[in-house]
Amino acid sequence: MAMKGFRRARKMVNVSVGESVRIIRELQGLSQNQLSRITRIPQSTLSGIENDRVNLGVERAKVLARALKCHPAVLVFPGWEVDKESAA
């Protein structure tokens, strides 16, 4: 259903994997130290992930996603867009 005067928003900023982790952590109101205690991932590793110096990896993505109450794909593919026509 088209709305008169409606224009689809365009993505203005590309977000890295690390930035995605940091943004979602902050939205959950958690510090790196708190997230470290919950996930048992060292705070220094979390800092490295958030600053894109350490690879997130599948297993860490699963652990972080569980703690941050989101799907791992949100962390691993922060800018992913799916066209309705091509979605399976």
Q: Residue 75 and residue 65: Cα distance in Å, rounded?
A: 7
At residue 88 the predicted structure's pLDDT band, cuts being 50, 70 and 90, is low
Of 78 and 47, the one with more pLDDT: 47
Please compute the mean of the pLDDT values over residues 79-88 and round it to a whole number: 60
Task: Indicate whether 70 pLDDT > 60.
Answer: yes
Please give the span between the terminal C-alpha atoms of the chain, in angstroms, as a whole number.
22
Average pLDDT score over the chain: 86
CB count in 10 Å sphere of residue 45: 15
CATH architecture, domain 25-76: Orthogonal Bundle (1.10)
pLDDT tens, residue by residue, 20-46: 999 999 999 999 999 999 999 999 999
**Per-residue confidence (pLDDT) for residue 79, from 0 to 100:** 75
Q: What residue segments make up the domains of the chain, in order of their start?
A: 25-76
